[in-house]
Structure 1
Amino acid sequence: MTKLANYLEGRWQEGSGNGSPVLDPITGETLATVSADGLDMHAAYDYARQQAGPALRKLSYAERAALLSDIVKVLQANRDKYFDISLRNSGTVQNDSSVDVDGAIYTLSFYAKAGSKMVEKALRLDGESAPLAKDNVFASQHIYVPIQGLALFINAFNFPAWGLWEKAAAALLSGVPVVIKPATSTAWLTHEMVKDVVDANILPAGALNIVCGRPDALLDALNGLDVVSFTGSADTAASLRDHPRIKHDGVRFNAETDSINSAVLGPDTDDDATGLLVREVVRELTIKSGQKCTAIRRIFVPESKYDAVAQAISNKLKTITVGDPRKEGVRMGSLVNLSQRDAILEGIEKLAECSDILFDGRTESTIDLDNENTAVVPPVLFGVRNPDDHPLVHEMEVFGPVATLIPYRNTEHAFTLTRRGMGSLVASVYSNQPDFLAQAAATLAESHGRVHLINNDVAKAHTGHGNVMPQSNHGGPGRAGGGEELGGLRALRFYHRLAAIQGSPEVLGKLAQEAGSES
């Protein structure tokens, strides 16, 4: 039995004890164990801050981007291995594994390319200098400088590859060492990627660290100049925010949490727009078995289209075989473990008490399994005809292949219902009326981190409701956590400190030279 070691202080260290198992969600086989018992996190963090941090900051942004390029080559060379691990540990079919593995490589490649064009050397200017005295003899210049602490990533189970590199890319490009704490259930893939990069000797020692399991002092060992980026449930985010290092000492905290995302069909009742929505809803229900923080949970359609859309979604879901991803013809795999299965089945039962079941994959899907005690849950589509009096559908997310169809009376009603999610990562809107799409964007932007507008013009080119692209902001207000990630080079702001520097134009000019600017 393999125990996944932890990489801290520039060396591999095993936690004590037997550890927690990492399982195959289809067969129940124990693939590895993880343990962080007995690790000295204070020493590990000090090493990262004192050894890796200065080594990274000696490099320019472009030089650090070159390191990201080297990491991309390592990941590409081991891509097939990562797909095999995903199948065995996450229970995903190859297309779903690609969303995670290839998405990670693409995101890292994006930041490597973007960083290679950065002219900054040691710091970044923010805007022009502003005069503070007559004749501009005294002025203020805002600058961004890399933090001299570390970045701790507490990641979710559903994206063990992408969840690592979408954060690490921006942090390492900024010159900040990282410590990754993956979710135990899918830690194997994260661990393997880190190990391959460490073995390639690309980064300074201590720049890339991983701790598996639940170490003591994971947060206690932080100091006020470190940062934490968390992905997971809103409840866990709330408990982390209450920790003294964050609540009292001011550790910068970014959260991307569960949210009740929406798809909205425009009032034009255009058949093409309807088809685009139906196709995307089915995709979001089945990719990674609905285990995506961006997945569609509520589907808003005009009252006149409710029955037709319900039938169209159901007809497509009937064609998807669910089961063991090792079997040919299976298009939808499993959840990551049995505890997630049980939580989703419990959520389905709660929704069933107050909603109509329009499609129940448990009785209508083709299920191809040799062992019934697996983490497989087929898709379920609910319907709610009285959404104004149905709080649960707007408040409870079932984190799996579950969505609810909801009718609306008019445009204002549609937007009001959508906003009842109280902060979401994404809403997608389907219409061939440009005025409606523009109105939807302006109205929903306040409560969503991303608004995805789809018409016939982009039908074949759009990147998908649930796909998170590094060029665009990822995060959302309110329930979605209030955090921000990605968005191109905007992602670097989290790993920098903004300061106002006040002095003479000559001195501020020296800062401009440090930023690689001639002005």
Structure 2
Amino acid sequence: MKATEIRNYFNYINGEWTASSTGDVKESINPANTHEIVGYYQHSSLDDLNKAVSGAKEAQKQWKKLSGSARGDYLFKAASILERRLDEIAETMTREMGKTFPEAKGETARGAAILRYYAGEGMRSVGEVIPSTDSSALMFTTRVPLGVVGVITPWNFPVAIPIWKMAPALIYGNTVVLKPASETAVTCAKVIECFVEAGLPAGVINMLTGPGSVIGQGLAQHPDVDGITFTGSNGVGKRIGQAALARGAKYQLEMGGKNPVIVENDADLDLAVEATISGGLRSTGQKCTATSRVIVQREVYEPFKERMLQKLQEITVGDGMKEGTWMGPCANESQLETVVSYIQKGIEEGAALIFGGKRLQGPGYENGFFVEPTVFENVASNMTIAQEEIFGPVLALMKADSIEEALALANDVEYGLSASIFTTNISRMLAFINEMDAGLIRINAESAGVEMQAPFGGMKQSSSHSREQGRAAIEFFTSIKTVFIK
């Protein structure tokens, strides 16, 4: 099937593609050209959710009894199918949420790699032997699945994030009910098609689309959902966490970031400029790990700024499917309006706009949600654009006279997801590693990105303090059972 075919995408519930009980569907549109419909997705109800959870609960009884290697075989098959359909799914992603086609291809390939990584988890240790004080006894630990896991995912990584949540949930013996972001419902449906083709038993994986206030909150409150893993905004995340906590369900929240880059006076400025632009503006700044604040030591501030402004001139904004496009549109109209409002707030609060700052219009832009890459300087730490997550291509430049001042500025926000520093000085690197309040620390590399085999998560208001990806995922998706044999 070609990515350009417009059709109705159904919910996948208990082994069947089904229309929602409401009979209502919504359009998914291309943010680069709002006249183009990518497909139609279901506007589901609590009745649909109840069916999905019921199917997942029943399926989990047998799924958990399979060996880890048997469950892993399904993930291996899904990875191969995803890889075979890579271009099609990547094109759908670009047309549905706007990131460039090369970025979408990279993300889809990453999804296949994540599946293979967790398929291998089925053959790894799930416990340890512990010496008992009773010499005639055997004591050890093992791990058991939670049961039914609700997965709520955002639109900015519509392949990678659902997979990095679903794959560990499945390999450890849980069944899944997935609620993807409506903006990328078509892309997610195509990912689920890969699991279906891989032959997963009915009910093991379920997907339904619809409003977060109904389906997302319904998952958090459902008595038969044993765990909730969520990535999205802080406000929604806290409501999800509170609902899960109220009934004693396990929850995992990955939320916002206001990620800093520190550029020291001994830094490779060309490398720092390249990484700042890539980390801050690729995917139109719509990454939770995107660079937002750029804290530059005063004596190299001007040369850094000049090199960055020169490089920004080379950025091509446009339709992500067109060759040569470096940055696509905002994912939807609401996000565009949010970005534009923050730019206006920066101007009103006295920051100096030195690059971009406007919505792009005219030929090629008239039907899309395009905004220019934007840079402010003279940004004080208490300004809105230095404190709140913008989730768009906006950089705030700040000056510091020392590593101590730079770290104080970097930590002066409620978030703590990722952070990077550019320096060749080992003592500054160590100070940054030790003093930076962030879950992901990167040295001489952009703030965005984490490898799939490494734990990922934030501090402060960025996270519920759990970790995703790598072996760390086992901590959320399982419970430890201690066994004593006499």
SS of the residue aligned with 2:288? coil
State whether structure 2 residue 330 is matched by structure 1 residue 358: no
1:294-333 equivalences in 2 (<5 Å): 294-333=289-328
Q: Which residue does 2:13 correspond to in 1?
A: 8
SS in 2 for 1:264: strand
Work out the CA distance in 2 between the residues paired with 1:255 and 1:345: 27
For 2:73 and 2:470, the matched residues in 1 are separated by 17
Between stretches 176-185 and 35-44, larger displacement belongs to 35-44
Name the counterpart of 1:422: 414
Rounded to whole Å, the distance in 1 between the matches of 2:75 and 2:322 is 36
| 2:99 is aligned with 1:115 | no
Q: CA RMSD in A?
A: 2.3
Equivalent in the alignment of 2:236: 236
AA partner of residue 437 (structure 1): M
Structure 1 residues 296 and 99: alpha-carbon distance in aligned structure 2, compared to 1, 3 A threshold: farther
Distance 1:440 1:491 in 2: 26
Alignment correspondent of 2:207: 210
Contact 2:221 2:247 in 1 (8 A): no
Aligned match of 1:289: 284
Distance 1:401 1:415, change over 3 A: same
Q: Distance in 2 between matches of 1:224 and 1:499?
A: 21
1:113-192 pair list within 5 angstroms: 114-115=120-121, 117-118=123-124, 120=125, 124-125=126-127, 127-131=128-132, 133=133, 135-136=134-135, 141-147=140-146, 149-192=147-190
Measured against aligned partners, the alpha-carbon deviations of 1:260-297 in whole angstroms (never above 9, x if no partner) come to 0111123xx1252x222111111123311111011001
| Residue identity in the other structure for 1:339 | S
Amino acid at match of 2:442: H
Unaligned runs of 5+ in 2: 1-5
Of 443, 450, 465 in structure 2, the residue corresponding to residue 453 of structure 1 is: 443
Name the CA distance, whole Å, in 1 between partners of 2:403 and 2:364. Answer: 48
Correspondence 1:104 to 2:96: no
Q: Provide the rounded CA distance (Å) in 1 between the counterparts of 2:321 and 2:13.
A: 35
Q: Distance in 1 between matches of 2:460 and 2:224?
A: 24
C-alpha distance in structure 2 between counterparts of 1:219 and 1:111, whole Å? 24
Give the deviation of 1:371 after TM superposition. 4.0
TM-score by length of 1: 0.86
Distance 2:298 2:219 in 1: 50
Q: Secondary structure at the match of 1:340?
A: helix
> Paired residue for 2:93, among 63, 70, 86?
86
What amino acid sits opposite 1:375 in the alignment? F
Distance 1:236 1:220, change over 3 A: closer
Equivalents in 2 of 1:27, 1:385: separation in Å?
34
CA contact (8 A) 2:144 2:173 kept: no
Q: Secondary structure at the match of 2:130?
A: strand
Show CA shifts across 1:69-123 (max 9, x none). 11110001101111221221122222221342122222222222x32542x5xxx
Cα deviation 1:17-63 (Å, max 9, x = unaligned): 33222111122122222221363322321221222x13322222222
Which residue identity lines up with residue 230 of structure 2 in the other structure?
Answer: F
For 1:247 and 1:58, locate their aligned partners in 2 and report how far apart those are by CA, in whole Å: 28
Which residue in the other structure is 2:461 paired with? Answer: 479
Separation in 2 of the partners of 1:251 and 1:391? 38
Which secondary structure does the structure 1 equivalent of 2:33 belong to?
coil
Q: Which residue of 2 aligns with 1:374?
A: 368
The 8 Å contact of residues 318 and 365 in structure 2, kept in 1 or not, is answered as no
Deviation readout 1:233-252 (Å, 9 max, x if unpaired):
00111222232xx1321111
- Work out the CA distance in 1 between the residues paired with 2:469 and 2:94: 30
Matched to 1:46, the amino acid is S
Q: 1:231/1:311 Cα in 2 relative to 1: closer, same or farther (>3 Å)?
A: same
Distance of 1:352 and 1:226 partners within structure 2: 46
Q: Percent identity?
A: 24
User: Gapped runs of 5+ residues in structure 1?
Assistant: 455-461, 507-519
Which residue identity does 1:145 align to in structure 2?
V
Seen in structure 2, the aligned counterparts of structure 1 residues 420 and 137 have a Cα distance that, compared at 3 Å, is farther
Q: Which moved more, 1:490-499 or 1:221-230?
A: 221-230
| Cα gap change, 1:329 to 1:488, in 2 (>3 Å) | closer
Cα drift, residue 475 of structure 1: 1.0
Q: 1-side partners of 2:271 and 2:123: how far apart?
A: 37
Moved more, 422-431 or 291-300: 422-431
Contact 2:267-2:422 at 8 Å conserved across structures: no
Secondary structure class of the residue paired with 1:218: helix
User: How far apart, CA to CA, are the structure 1 residues paired with 2:140 and 2:416?
Assistant: 35
CA positional deviation for 1:369:
4.3
The answer to whether the Cα contact below 8 Å between 1:41 and 1:221 also exists between their aligned partners in 2 is no
Q: Could you state the TM-score of these two structures normalised by the residue count of structure 2? A: 0.91
Aligned positions, number = 474
Letter in 2 for 1:433: N
Q: Deviations over 1:121-154 (max 9, x none)?
A: xxx21x44243x4x5456764432222x211111
How far does the alpha carbon of each residue in 1:306-338 deviate from its partner, in whole angstroms, 9 at most, with x for none?
A: 222222111111111111234333221111111
Partner SS state of residue 399, structure 1: coil
For the Cα contact (< 8 Å) 2:172–2:478, is it kept in 1? yes
2:457 counterpart letter in structure 1: G
Deviations along 1:450-483, one digit per CA (max 9) or x if unpaired, are: 10112xxxxxxx6x53112111111102211224
| Letter matched to residue 270 of structure 1 | D
2:155 partner SS: coil
Give the distance between the partners of 2:115 and 2:402, measured in 1 at CA.
43
Correspondences of 1:202-281 after superposition (within 5 Å): 202-214=199-211, 215=214, 218-219=218-219, 222-223=222-223, 226-243=226-243, 246-266=244-264, 269-270=265-266, 272=268, 274-281=269-276
Q: Do the aligned partners of residues 209 and 432 (structure 1) sit closer, same or farther apart at CA in structure 2, a change above 3 Å counting?
A: same
Please tell me whether the aligned partners of residues 260 and 447 of structure 2 are also in contact (alpha carbons under 8 angstroms): no
